[in-house]
Amino acid sequence: MLWYGGEFTLIPSQNKLEAQYSVKRQAYESDVQDLKQQLELKNNEIRSLNTSIDGLKSVNEELKVCHFYIRWTGSNGYGG
């Protein structure tokens, strides 16, 4: 109901509601697309970080081997 010309009047507003619905739907669709893009960026970041972690684990293992070798040679009189 709307106040119109000194009285309450029912104005058909189906077109107005449809337009509002369409605008909201487009906004939601845009939000969904934005969220999908953010998710894809985060997934790429996670993949990159996992690759970095794997590389660091490999380097860490190499350092452990070197550390063991240095300690072993030092304790067995092979040091310089």
Per-residue confidence (pLDDT) for residue 9, from 0 to 100: 55
Per-residue confidence (pLDDT) for residue 11, from 0 to 100: 57
Q: Is the pTM of this model over 0.85?
A: no
Exposure b/e, 52-80, CB count within 10 A at least 16 = b: eeeeeeeeeeeeeeeeeeeeeeeeeeeee
Structure tokens at 14: 């189906």
Per-residue confidence (pLDDT) for residue 2, from 0 to 100: 54
Tens digit of pLDDT per residue, the chain (80 long)? Answer: 555 556 655 556 778 888 889 999 999 999 999 999 999 999 999 999 999 999 999 999 999 999 998 888 887 766 55
Per-residue confidence (pLDDT) for residue 74, from 0 to 100: 80
